[in-house]
Copies of this chain bind each other. A is one copy, B any other.
Amino acid sequence: MNGAESIVRTLSEGGVEVCFANPGTSEIHLVAALDHVKGIRGVPCLFEGVAVGAADGYARMTAKPACSLLHLGPGFANGLANLHNASRAHVPILNLIGDHATYHRKYDAPLTADIEALARTYCRWLRTSAAAKEAGQDCADAIANTHAAPGSISTLIVPADVAWTDGGQTGKLSTPPATPLPNMASIEGAAALLKNDQQTAILLGDRAAQGDALIAAGRIAAATGAKLFVPFSFSRVERGAGLPAVERIAYVVDQAVSQLHEFRQLILVGAQQPVAFFASPSTPSVVTPPDCNIFTLARSDNNCGAALEALTASLSASRVAFRPVEKGRPGIPGGDITLSGLAAVVGALLPPHAIVVDESITSGRGMMAAARGAAPHDWLVNTGGSIGIGMPLSVGASIACHDRPVLCLSGDGSLMYTLQSLWTAAREGLNITLVVFANRSYSILKGELSRLGQDSGRGALDLLDIDRPDLDFVALAKGMGVPGRRVSTLEEFAAELQSGFDSAAPNLIEVPL
Protein backbone atom coordinates (compact mmCIF):
# COMPACT_ATOMS: atom_id res chain seq x y z
CA MET A 1 0.00 0.00 0.00
CA ASN A 2 1.48 3.30 -1.04
CA GLY A 3 0.95 6.61 0.75
CA ALA A 4 -1.92 7.60 -1.51
CA GLU A 5 -3.80 4.41 -0.84
CA SER A 6 -3.26 4.75 2.91
CA ILE A 7 -4.83 8.20 2.72
CA VAL A 8 -7.83 7.05 0.75
CA ARG A 9 -8.36 4.02 2.99
CA THR A 10 -8.23 6.30 6.01
CA LEU A 11 -10.75 8.66 4.42
CA SER A 12 -13.07 5.74 3.82
CA GLU A 13 -12.73 4.39 7.33
CA GLY A 14 -13.12 7.92 8.68
CA GLY A 15 -16.55 8.31 7.15
CA VAL A 16 -15.60 10.56 4.27
CA GLU A 17 -17.91 9.54 1.44
CA VAL A 18 -17.40 12.15 -1.27
CA CYS A 19 -14.38 13.69 -2.95
CA PHE A 20 -14.94 16.78 -5.11
CA ALA A 21 -11.96 16.66 -7.42
CA ASN A 22 -10.02 18.79 -9.85
CA PRO A 23 -6.75 16.90 -9.86
CA GLY A 24 -3.50 17.31 -11.76
CA THR A 25 -0.35 15.31 -12.29
CA SER A 26 0.83 15.60 -8.70
CA GLU A 27 -2.47 14.06 -7.52
CA ILE A 28 -2.49 11.19 -9.99
CA HIS A 29 -1.63 8.55 -7.38
CA LEU A 30 -4.48 9.80 -5.22
CA VAL A 31 -6.77 9.50 -8.24
CA ALA A 32 -5.58 5.95 -8.79
CA ALA A 33 -6.15 5.16 -5.11
CA LEU A 34 -9.67 6.60 -5.23
CA ASP A 35 -10.25 4.13 -8.02
CA HIS A 36 -8.86 1.12 -6.18
CA VAL A 37 -10.37 1.79 -2.78
CA LYS A 38 -14.11 1.57 -2.97
CA GLY A 39 -16.55 3.63 -0.95
CA ILE A 40 -15.63 7.18 -1.87
CA ARG A 41 -17.62 8.88 -4.59
CA GLY A 42 -15.39 10.98 -6.81
CA VAL A 43 -17.17 13.99 -8.25
CA PRO A 44 -15.29 15.76 -11.05
CA CYS A 45 -15.27 19.55 -11.12
CA LEU A 46 -13.93 21.77 -13.89
CA PHE A 47 -12.81 24.50 -11.48
CA GLU A 48 -11.60 24.31 -7.91
CA GLY A 49 -14.08 26.89 -6.59
CA VAL A 50 -16.80 24.42 -7.54
CA ALA A 51 -15.12 21.63 -5.59
CA VAL A 52 -14.64 23.62 -2.40
CA GLY A 53 -18.08 25.24 -2.55
CA ALA A 54 -19.67 21.84 -3.11
CA ALA A 55 -17.85 20.49 -0.07
CA ASP A 56 -19.36 23.40 1.89
CA GLY A 57 -22.88 22.59 0.67
CA TYR A 58 -22.41 18.90 1.47
CA ALA A 59 -21.22 19.73 4.97
CA ARG A 60 -24.06 22.16 5.66
CA MET A 61 -26.56 19.39 4.95
CA THR A 62 -24.74 16.51 6.67
CA ALA A 63 -22.42 18.12 9.26
CA LYS A 64 -19.82 15.74 7.81
CA PRO A 65 -16.65 16.59 5.94
CA ALA A 66 -16.32 15.98 2.25
CA CYS A 67 -12.91 16.01 0.71
CA SER A 68 -11.65 18.26 -2.03
CA LEU A 69 -8.76 17.16 -4.24
CA LEU A 70 -6.78 20.11 -5.57
CA HIS A 71 -3.63 20.71 -7.59
CA LEU A 72 -0.69 22.39 -5.84
CA GLY A 73 -0.73 26.08 -4.83
CA PRO A 74 -2.59 27.57 -7.79
CA GLY A 75 -5.28 24.89 -7.74
CA PHE A 76 -5.77 25.51 -4.06
CA ALA A 77 -5.79 29.26 -4.69
CA ASN A 78 -8.70 28.80 -7.09
CA GLY A 79 -10.62 27.26 -4.20
CA LEU A 80 -9.75 29.99 -1.68
CA ALA A 81 -12.69 32.31 -2.32
CA ASN A 82 -15.20 29.61 -1.54
CA LEU A 83 -12.99 28.42 1.30
CA HIS A 84 -13.40 31.94 2.68
CA ASN A 85 -17.15 31.42 2.54
CA ALA A 86 -16.82 27.95 4.07
CA SER A 87 -14.72 29.29 6.93
CA ARG A 88 -17.60 31.67 7.71
CA ALA A 89 -20.10 28.81 7.47
CA HIS A 90 -18.07 26.93 10.09
CA VAL A 91 -18.34 23.68 8.20
CA PRO A 92 -15.98 20.70 8.22
CA ILE A 93 -13.99 20.32 5.01
CA LEU A 94 -10.87 18.30 4.26
CA ASN A 95 -8.68 19.61 1.44
CA LEU A 96 -6.18 17.22 -0.08
CA ILE A 97 -3.53 18.98 -2.11
CA GLY A 98 -0.88 17.26 -4.11
CA ASP A 99 2.54 18.90 -4.13
CA HIS A 100 5.75 18.29 -5.99
CA ALA A 101 7.84 15.38 -4.81
CA THR A 102 9.88 16.47 -1.80
CA TYR A 103 13.19 16.17 -3.66
CA HIS A 104 11.84 18.10 -6.65
CA ARG A 105 10.88 21.25 -4.74
CA LYS A 106 14.41 22.61 -4.68
CA TYR A 107 14.39 22.97 -8.47
CA ASP A 108 11.62 25.55 -8.31
CA ALA A 109 9.74 24.00 -11.25
CA PRO A 110 6.99 26.23 -12.63
CA LEU A 111 4.17 25.07 -10.36
CA THR A 112 6.20 25.37 -7.17
CA ALA A 113 4.40 27.57 -4.65
CA ASP A 114 4.23 28.18 -0.93
CA ILE A 115 1.07 26.14 -0.44
CA GLU A 116 1.29 26.32 3.35
CA ALA A 117 1.31 30.12 3.29
CA LEU A 118 -1.84 30.10 1.19
CA ALA A 119 -3.51 27.44 3.31
CA ARG A 120 -2.73 29.10 6.62
CA THR A 121 -5.23 31.85 5.82
CA TYR A 122 -8.35 29.72 6.17
CA CYS A 123 -7.33 26.33 7.55
CA ARG A 124 -7.34 25.70 11.28
CA TRP A 125 -5.38 22.51 10.71
CA LEU A 126 -2.61 22.21 8.18
CA ARG A 127 0.11 19.65 7.59
CA THR A 128 2.46 18.57 4.83
CA SER A 129 2.83 14.82 4.96
CA ALA A 130 6.49 13.91 5.36
CA ALA A 131 6.59 10.22 4.51
CA ALA A 132 4.41 7.47 3.09
CA LYS A 133 4.31 5.62 6.38
CA GLU A 134 2.91 8.71 8.12
CA ALA A 135 0.42 9.75 5.45
CA GLY A 136 -2.44 7.61 6.73
CA GLN A 137 -2.12 8.99 10.24
CA ASP A 138 -1.81 12.52 8.86
CA CYS A 139 -5.11 11.95 7.11
CA ALA A 140 -6.73 10.59 10.26
CA ASP A 141 -5.59 13.69 12.14
CA ALA A 142 -6.92 15.89 9.35
CA ILE A 143 -10.32 14.21 9.57
CA ALA A 144 -10.43 14.52 13.36
CA ASN A 145 -9.65 18.20 13.15
CA THR A 146 -12.48 18.93 10.72
CA HIS A 147 -14.75 18.10 13.64
CA ALA A 148 -13.29 20.82 15.87
CA ALA A 149 -16.43 22.69 16.90
CA PRO A 150 -18.40 24.02 15.18
CA GLY A 151 -16.75 22.57 12.08
CA SER A 152 -13.35 23.33 10.71
CA ILE A 153 -11.21 23.27 7.60
CA SER A 154 -8.27 20.87 7.48
CA THR A 155 -5.72 20.82 4.71
CA LEU A 156 -3.35 17.96 4.08
CA ILE A 157 -0.59 18.57 1.56
CA VAL A 158 0.69 15.36 -0.01
CA PRO A 159 4.02 15.49 -1.88
CA ALA A 160 3.92 13.24 -4.92
CA ASP A 161 6.66 10.93 -3.64
CA VAL A 162 4.83 10.50 -0.34
CA ALA A 163 1.82 9.44 -2.42
CA TRP A 164 3.67 6.98 -4.63
CA THR A 165 6.05 5.42 -2.08
CA ASP A 166 5.14 2.07 -0.54
CA GLY A 167 4.82 1.55 3.20
CA GLY A 168 1.55 3.36 3.80
CA GLN A 169 -0.52 2.47 6.84
CA THR A 170 -4.14 3.27 7.48
CA GLY A 171 -4.40 5.97 10.13
CA LYS A 172 -5.97 5.52 13.53
CA LEU A 173 -9.06 7.63 13.87
CA SER A 174 -9.66 9.46 17.10
CA THR A 175 -13.06 10.38 18.44
CA PRO A 176 -13.54 14.13 18.27
CA PRO A 177 -14.00 15.73 21.68
CA ALA A 178 -17.56 16.64 22.62
CA THR A 179 -18.50 20.21 21.80
CA PRO A 180 -18.47 22.09 25.10
CA LEU A 181 -21.54 23.68 26.64
CA PRO A 182 -21.13 27.31 27.56
CA ASN A 183 -20.64 27.83 31.27
CA MET A 184 -23.63 28.06 33.59
CA ALA A 185 -23.15 31.79 34.09
CA SER A 186 -23.99 32.31 30.43
CA ILE A 187 -27.17 30.30 30.70
CA GLU A 188 -28.20 31.97 33.95
CA GLY A 189 -27.33 35.38 32.54
CA ALA A 190 -29.45 34.84 29.45
CA ALA A 191 -32.33 33.56 31.58
CA ALA A 192 -32.15 36.66 33.77
CA LEU A 193 -32.26 38.93 30.73
CA LEU A 194 -35.28 37.11 29.36
CA LYS A 195 -37.14 37.71 32.60
CA ASN A 196 -36.47 41.44 33.00
CA ASP A 197 -39.27 42.72 30.76
CA GLN A 198 -36.94 44.41 28.31
CA GLN A 199 -37.54 43.86 24.60
CA THR A 200 -35.18 41.05 23.67
CA ALA A 201 -33.94 39.63 20.40
CA ILE A 202 -32.20 36.27 20.05
CA LEU A 203 -29.79 35.87 17.16
CA LEU A 204 -29.35 32.27 16.03
CA GLY A 205 -26.07 31.39 14.35
CA ASP A 206 -24.51 28.15 13.17
CA ARG A 207 -26.72 25.12 13.61
CA ALA A 208 -28.90 27.03 16.09
CA ALA A 209 -31.58 27.61 13.47
CA GLN A 210 -32.02 23.93 12.75
CA GLY A 211 -33.60 20.87 14.34
CA ASP A 212 -34.00 20.65 18.10
CA ALA A 213 -32.05 23.87 18.62
CA LEU A 214 -34.60 25.78 16.58
CA ILE A 215 -37.48 24.19 18.44
CA ALA A 216 -35.89 25.11 21.76
CA ALA A 217 -35.41 28.66 20.56
CA GLY A 218 -39.07 28.71 19.55
CA ARG A 219 -40.12 27.65 23.04
CA ILE A 220 -37.95 30.36 24.59
CA ALA A 221 -39.48 32.96 22.30
CA ALA A 222 -43.01 31.81 23.10
CA ALA A 223 -42.33 31.75 26.84
CA THR A 224 -40.61 35.12 27.04
CA GLY A 225 -41.82 37.24 24.12
CA ALA A 226 -38.33 37.42 22.69
CA LYS A 227 -38.03 37.56 18.93
CA LEU A 228 -35.86 35.19 16.91
CA PHE A 229 -33.48 36.43 14.23
CA VAL A 230 -30.83 34.96 12.02
CA PRO A 231 -27.91 36.99 10.67
CA PHE A 232 -28.03 38.22 7.11
CA SER A 233 -25.22 35.75 6.38
CA PHE A 234 -26.22 32.35 7.71
CA SER A 235 -25.19 28.84 6.78
CA ARG A 236 -28.55 27.04 7.00
CA VAL A 237 -32.00 27.75 8.38
CA GLU A 238 -34.84 25.28 8.68
CA ARG A 239 -38.11 27.01 8.07
CA GLY A 240 -41.62 26.77 6.76
CA ALA A 241 -45.10 25.99 8.06
CA GLY A 242 -45.14 24.43 11.50
CA LEU A 243 -41.67 25.61 12.52
CA PRO A 244 -40.77 28.58 14.72
CA ALA A 245 -40.51 31.84 12.82
CA VAL A 246 -37.12 33.44 12.47
CA GLU A 247 -36.49 36.76 10.80
CA ARG A 248 -33.37 37.45 8.76
CA ILE A 249 -31.50 40.66 9.48
CA ALA A 250 -31.49 42.80 6.36
CA TYR A 251 -28.46 43.62 4.20
CA VAL A 252 -29.49 47.24 3.80
CA VAL A 253 -28.18 48.99 6.90
CA ASP A 254 -31.17 51.27 7.43
CA GLN A 255 -33.49 48.28 7.27
CA ALA A 256 -31.36 46.32 9.73
CA VAL A 257 -31.32 49.27 12.12
CA SER A 258 -35.07 49.51 11.81
CA GLN A 259 -35.53 45.78 12.47
CA LEU A 260 -33.50 45.98 15.67
CA HIS A 261 -34.25 49.46 16.97
CA GLU A 262 -36.87 48.34 19.50
CA PHE A 263 -34.58 45.85 21.21
CA ARG A 264 -32.72 46.74 24.39
CA GLN A 265 -31.19 43.29 24.64
CA LEU A 266 -29.70 40.91 22.09
CA ILE A 267 -28.70 37.37 22.97
CA LEU A 268 -26.16 35.74 20.67
CA VAL A 269 -26.35 31.98 20.11
CA GLY A 270 -23.39 30.95 18.00
CA ALA A 271 -23.64 34.22 16.12
CA GLN A 272 -21.50 37.34 15.97
CA GLN A 273 -22.75 40.80 16.85
CA PRO A 274 -24.71 42.00 13.81
CA VAL A 275 -22.84 44.65 11.85
CA ALA A 276 -23.09 46.28 8.46
CA PHE A 277 -21.83 44.16 5.58
CA PHE A 278 -19.79 47.19 4.45
CA ALA A 279 -18.99 50.49 6.08
CA SER A 280 -20.22 53.63 4.41
CA PRO A 281 -19.75 57.31 5.24
CA SER A 282 -23.47 57.74 5.88
CA THR A 283 -24.48 54.63 7.85
CA PRO A 284 -23.28 53.04 11.09
CA SER A 285 -21.12 49.93 11.31
CA VAL A 286 -23.17 48.54 14.19
CA VAL A 287 -26.84 47.96 13.48
CA THR A 288 -28.05 47.41 17.04
CA PRO A 289 -29.19 50.47 19.08
CA PRO A 290 -26.36 52.15 21.00
CA ASP A 291 -27.89 51.17 24.35
CA CYS A 292 -28.56 47.57 23.38
CA ASN A 293 -27.09 45.06 25.83
CA ILE A 294 -25.44 42.34 23.75
CA PHE A 295 -25.04 39.09 25.64
CA THR A 296 -23.40 35.88 24.45
CA LEU A 297 -25.28 32.75 25.44
CA ALA A 298 -23.07 30.52 23.33
CA ARG A 299 -20.14 31.03 21.03
CA SER A 300 -20.07 29.26 17.72
CA ASP A 301 -17.65 26.69 19.12
CA ASN A 302 -20.03 25.87 21.96
CA ASN A 303 -22.83 23.36 21.66
CA CYS A 304 -25.54 25.86 20.76
CA GLY A 305 -28.33 23.31 20.74
CA ALA A 306 -27.52 22.14 24.22
CA ALA A 307 -27.20 25.74 25.39
CA LEU A 308 -30.69 26.50 24.10
CA GLU A 309 -32.06 23.35 25.74
CA ALA A 310 -30.42 24.34 29.02
CA LEU A 311 -31.84 27.83 28.74
CA THR A 312 -35.27 26.39 28.01
CA ALA A 313 -35.02 24.29 31.16
CA SER A 314 -33.80 27.24 33.18
CA LEU A 315 -36.85 29.18 32.04
CA SER A 316 -39.13 26.20 32.75
CA ALA A 317 -40.16 26.43 29.14
CA SER A 318 -39.42 22.88 28.03
CA ARG A 319 -43.09 22.11 27.58
CA VAL A 320 -44.14 25.49 26.30
CA ALA A 321 -45.59 25.24 22.82
CA PHE A 322 -43.74 27.34 20.30
CA ARG A 323 -45.78 29.46 17.92
CA PRO A 324 -45.57 27.71 14.56
CA VAL A 325 -45.54 29.57 11.30
CA GLU A 326 -48.95 29.10 9.73
CA LYS A 327 -49.26 27.17 6.53
CA GLY A 328 -49.98 29.49 3.69
CA ARG A 329 -48.71 30.19 0.24
CA PRO A 330 -49.12 33.12 -2.09
CA GLY A 331 -51.35 32.67 -5.10
CA ILE A 332 -49.62 32.34 -8.45
CA PRO A 333 -49.62 35.79 -9.99
CA GLY A 334 -49.59 36.45 -13.72
CA GLY A 335 -48.56 39.12 -16.13
CA ASP A 336 -45.33 40.97 -16.46
CA ILE A 337 -42.31 39.90 -14.50
CA THR A 338 -41.83 41.76 -11.23
CA LEU A 339 -39.57 40.84 -8.32
CA SER A 340 -42.56 40.46 -6.01
CA GLY A 341 -44.33 38.33 -8.61
CA LEU A 342 -41.31 36.05 -8.97
CA ALA A 343 -41.13 35.66 -5.21
CA ALA A 344 -44.82 34.76 -5.07
CA VAL A 345 -44.35 32.08 -7.72
CA VAL A 346 -41.46 30.56 -5.78
CA GLY A 347 -43.48 30.70 -2.56
CA ALA A 348 -46.44 29.09 -4.28
CA LEU A 349 -44.57 26.21 -5.91
CA LEU A 350 -41.69 25.37 -3.58
CA PRO A 351 -41.86 21.59 -3.07
CA PRO A 352 -41.78 19.99 0.38
CA HIS A 353 -38.32 19.29 1.74
CA ALA A 354 -36.77 21.60 -0.82
CA ILE A 355 -33.29 22.96 -0.25
CA VAL A 356 -33.19 26.58 -1.38
CA VAL A 357 -29.74 27.98 -2.11
CA ASP A 358 -30.15 31.70 -2.37
CA GLU A 359 -27.50 33.87 -3.98
CA SER A 360 -29.98 36.10 -5.72
CA ILE A 361 -28.50 39.28 -4.21
CA THR A 362 -30.73 42.22 -5.11
CA SER A 363 -33.33 40.34 -7.15
CA GLY A 364 -34.43 37.81 -4.57
CA ARG A 365 -34.99 39.96 -1.52
CA GLY A 366 -38.67 39.00 -1.30
CA MET A 367 -38.09 35.28 -1.67
CA MET A 368 -37.77 34.27 1.98
CA ALA A 369 -40.91 36.13 2.95
CA ALA A 370 -42.89 34.58 0.12
CA ALA A 371 -41.84 31.05 1.08
CA ARG A 372 -42.44 31.59 4.78
CA GLY A 373 -45.57 29.43 5.00
CA ALA A 374 -44.51 26.78 2.50
CA ALA A 375 -43.90 23.20 3.59
CA PRO A 376 -40.74 22.82 5.68
CA HIS A 377 -37.57 23.41 3.75
CA ASP A 378 -33.96 24.52 4.22
CA TRP A 379 -32.56 27.88 3.17
CA LEU A 380 -28.83 28.31 2.54
CA VAL A 381 -27.11 31.58 1.70
CA ASN A 382 -23.67 33.01 1.12
CA THR A 383 -21.88 33.21 4.46
CA GLY A 384 -18.73 35.09 3.52
CA GLY A 385 -19.81 37.53 0.85
CA SER A 386 -17.61 36.08 -1.89
CA ILE A 387 -20.10 35.62 -4.71
CA GLY A 388 -20.00 32.48 -6.80
CA ILE A 389 -21.03 30.01 -4.09
CA GLY A 390 -24.66 29.43 -5.09
CA MET A 391 -24.35 26.66 -7.66
CA PRO A 392 -21.38 24.98 -5.95
CA LEU A 393 -23.40 24.84 -2.70
CA SER A 394 -26.31 23.43 -4.68
CA VAL A 395 -24.14 20.69 -6.14
CA GLY A 396 -22.89 19.70 -2.70
CA ALA A 397 -26.32 19.87 -1.08
CA SER A 398 -27.83 17.78 -3.84
CA ILE A 399 -25.15 15.12 -3.54
CA ALA A 400 -25.71 15.08 0.22
CA CYS A 401 -29.50 14.83 -0.12
CA HIS A 402 -30.20 13.16 -3.43
CA ASP A 403 -33.86 12.63 -2.61
CA ARG A 404 -34.56 16.33 -2.06
CA PRO A 405 -35.14 18.98 -4.73
CA VAL A 406 -32.68 21.87 -4.77
CA LEU A 407 -33.74 25.31 -5.94
CA CYS A 408 -30.80 27.59 -6.65
CA LEU A 409 -31.65 31.30 -6.94
CA SER A 410 -28.78 33.21 -8.49
CA GLY A 411 -27.91 36.65 -9.70
CA ASP A 412 -26.35 36.73 -13.15
CA GLY A 413 -23.15 38.30 -11.89
CA SER A 414 -22.80 35.70 -9.12
CA LEU A 415 -23.41 32.77 -11.42
CA MET A 416 -20.58 33.72 -13.75
CA TYR A 417 -17.86 33.11 -11.14
CA THR A 418 -18.44 29.36 -10.95
CA LEU A 419 -20.57 28.60 -13.99
CA GLN A 420 -18.60 25.37 -14.44
CA SER A 421 -20.73 23.86 -11.65
CA LEU A 422 -23.51 23.34 -14.21
CA TRP A 423 -21.42 20.69 -15.89
CA THR A 424 -20.89 18.79 -12.64
CA ALA A 425 -24.65 18.98 -12.03
CA ALA A 426 -25.21 17.48 -15.48
CA ARG A 427 -22.56 14.80 -15.08
CA GLU A 428 -23.98 13.69 -11.74
CA GLY A 429 -27.62 14.06 -12.80
CA LEU A 430 -28.46 16.29 -9.85
CA ASN A 431 -31.97 17.44 -9.01
CA ILE A 432 -31.22 21.17 -9.18
CA THR A 433 -33.46 23.84 -10.64
CA LEU A 434 -31.40 26.98 -11.19
CA VAL A 435 -33.20 30.29 -11.61
CA VAL A 436 -30.93 33.07 -12.81
CA PHE A 437 -32.15 36.64 -12.45
CA ALA A 438 -30.62 38.41 -15.40
CA ASN A 439 -30.62 42.10 -14.61
CA ARG A 440 -27.49 42.46 -16.75
CA SER A 441 -25.54 44.27 -14.08
CA TYR A 442 -23.86 44.12 -10.73
CA SER A 443 -27.03 45.80 -9.53
CA ILE A 444 -25.94 46.05 -5.91
CA LEU A 445 -22.93 48.11 -7.01
CA LYS A 446 -24.97 50.41 -9.17
CA GLY A 447 -27.03 51.10 -6.06
CA GLU A 448 -23.86 51.94 -4.15
CA LEU A 449 -22.64 54.18 -6.95
CA SER A 450 -25.88 56.12 -7.06
CA ARG A 451 -25.72 56.52 -3.26
CA LEU A 452 -22.46 58.41 -3.69
CA GLY A 453 -24.60 61.16 -5.12
CA GLN A 454 -22.02 61.77 -7.78
CA ASP A 455 -22.71 62.24 -11.40
CA SER A 456 -21.47 58.90 -12.58
CA GLY A 457 -20.81 58.60 -16.24
CA ARG A 458 -20.60 55.91 -18.81
CA GLY A 459 -17.13 54.86 -17.73
CA ALA A 460 -18.25 53.80 -14.28
CA LEU A 461 -21.37 52.09 -15.53
CA ASP A 462 -19.32 50.20 -18.11
CA LEU A 463 -17.59 48.44 -15.23
CA LEU A 464 -20.85 47.55 -13.47
CA ASP A 465 -23.10 46.54 -16.35
CA ILE A 466 -23.06 42.98 -17.67
CA ASP A 467 -24.41 43.77 -21.08
CA ARG A 468 -23.21 44.52 -24.61
CA PRO A 469 -23.31 41.62 -25.21
CA ASP A 470 -26.02 40.24 -22.96
CA LEU A 471 -25.13 36.88 -21.50
CA ASP A 472 -27.37 34.15 -22.91
CA PHE A 473 -27.80 31.77 -20.02
CA VAL A 474 -29.86 29.31 -22.02
CA ALA A 475 -26.95 28.91 -24.41
CA LEU A 476 -24.46 28.72 -21.55
CA ALA A 477 -26.52 25.98 -19.91
CA LYS A 478 -26.76 24.09 -23.20
CA GLY A 479 -22.99 24.32 -23.47
CA MET A 480 -22.72 22.52 -20.13
CA GLY A 481 -25.30 19.89 -21.00
CA VAL A 482 -28.11 21.42 -18.94
CA PRO A 483 -31.50 22.23 -20.50
CA GLY A 484 -32.53 25.83 -20.12
CA ARG A 485 -35.31 28.17 -21.16
CA ARG A 486 -36.06 31.86 -20.90
CA VAL A 487 -39.32 33.19 -19.56
CA SER A 488 -41.01 36.50 -20.25
CA THR A 489 -44.13 36.40 -18.05
CA LEU A 490 -44.95 35.21 -14.57
CA GLU A 491 -47.19 32.50 -16.03
CA GLU A 492 -44.28 31.18 -18.02
CA PHE A 493 -42.05 31.34 -14.98
CA ALA A 494 -44.55 29.35 -12.94
CA ALA A 495 -44.94 26.74 -15.67
CA GLU A 496 -41.21 26.35 -16.17
CA LEU A 497 -40.47 26.28 -12.46
CA GLN A 498 -42.98 23.48 -11.95
CA SER A 499 -41.60 21.68 -14.95
CA GLY A 500 -38.09 22.06 -13.55
CA PHE A 501 -39.11 20.58 -10.21
CA ASP A 502 -40.95 17.76 -11.99
CA SER A 503 -37.89 16.90 -14.07
CA ALA A 504 -35.83 16.05 -10.98
CA ALA A 505 -32.79 16.80 -13.14
CA PRO A 506 -30.53 19.82 -13.57
CA ASN A 507 -32.28 22.63 -15.42
CA LEU A 508 -31.96 26.38 -15.76
CA ILE A 509 -34.54 29.13 -16.05
CA GLU A 510 -33.34 32.54 -17.19
CA VAL A 511 -35.49 35.40 -15.99
CA PRO A 512 -34.61 38.61 -17.84
CA LEU A 513 -35.24 41.66 -15.64
What residues make up the interface of A, taking CB atoms closer than 8 Å to B?
A: 21, 23-26, 28-29, 31-32, 34-36, 42, 44, 46-47, 49, 72-75, 77-78, 80-81, 84-85, 88, 100-101, 103-104, 107-111, 113-114, 117-118, 120-121, 160-161, 164, 233, 272-273, 275-281, 285-286, 383-386, 388, 413, 416-417, 419-420, 423, 426-427, 442, 444-445, 448-449, 452, 454, 456-460, 462-466, 468-481
Apart from A25-B448, A111-B384, A474-B479, list 6 A-B contacts with CB within 8 A: A46-B416, A77-B80, A111-B386, A416-B423, A419-B419, A478-B479
Q: With A and B bound together, what is the CA distance between A422 and B121 in angstroms?
A: 31
Q: Which residue of B lies closest to A412 (CB)?
A: B46
A471 touches B479 (CB 8 A): yes
Distance A280 CA – B477 CA, assembled complex (angstroms)? 39
CA distance A29 to B466 in the complex (A): 19
Contact (Cβ within 8 A) B121 A114: yes
A469 to B34: give the CA distance in the assembly, Å: 22
Residues of B within 8 A of A388 (CB): 78
CA distance A448 to B29 in the complex (A): 9
| Option from B73, B276, B445, B471 in Cβ contact (under 8 Å) with A423 | B471
Residue of B with least CB distance to A100: B279
A277 touches B110 (CB 8 A): yes
**Hey, which chain B residues are within 8 Å of A413, CB to CB?**
46
Q: A459 to nearest B CB, angstroms?
A: 4
What are 17 inter-chain pairs, A to B, with CB distance below 8 A? A23-B464, A29-B452, A31-B449, A31-B464, A35-B456, A42-B463, A44-B464, A75-B81, A77-B386, A100-B279, A104-B279, A113-B121, A423-B466, A472-B481, A474-B479, A476-B480, A479-B479
Question: Given the complex, which residues of B lie within 8 Å of A23, measured CB to CB?
Answer: 445, 463-464
Give Cα A449 to B29, complex, Å. Answer: 8
A81 nearest in chain B by CB position? B74
A278 to B107, CA, bound (A): 10
**Cβ of A89 to closest chain B Cβ, rounded Å:** 10
Docked CA distance A233–B75 (Å): 18
Check A100 against B278 for contact (C-beta < 8 Å): yes
Question: What's the Cα separation between A113 and B251 when bound, in Å?
Answer: 19
Instruction: Decide: A110 near B32, CB < 8 A? Known: A23-B463, A80-B77, A475-B476.
Output: no
Report the separation of the CA atoms of residues A480 and B416 in the bound assembly, to the nearest whole angstrom.
Answer: 10
Residues of B within 8 A of A26 (CB): 278
Known: A23-B445, A80-B80, A445-B25. A109 touches B277 (CB 8 A): yes
Q: How far is the CB of A45 from chain B (nearest CB, A)?
A: 9
Q: Are B459 and A35 in contact (CB under 8 A)?
A: yes
Measured between alpha carbons, how far is A420 from B423 in the docked complex, in Å? 15
Given the known interface contacts A75-B386, A444-B25, the answer about A454 and B109 at a Cβ–Cβ threshold of 8 Å is: no
List B contacts of A427 (CB < 8 A): 468-469
Q: Which B residue's beta carbon lies closest to that of A37?
A: B459
A469 touches B481 (CB 8 A): yes
B385 near A110 with CB under 8 A, answer yes
On whether the beta carbons of A471 and B460 are closer than 8 Å, the reply is no
Give the nearest-CB partner of A444 in chain B.
Answer: B25
Nearest CB on B from A471, distance (A) = 6
Complex alpha-carbon distance, A80 and B75, angstroms: 10
Given known pairs A84-B77, A233-B110, A448-B28, the reply for A120 and B121 (CB within 8 Å) is: no
Chain B residue contacts of A281, Cβ below 8 A: 161, 164
Across-interface contacts of A459 in B (CB, < 8 A): 34-35, 42
Q: Are A445 and B276 in contact (CB under 8 A)?
A: no
- The reply to whether A80 and B118 form a contact with Cβ atoms under 8 Å apart is yes
**Interface contact B417-A419, CB-CB below 8 Å:** no
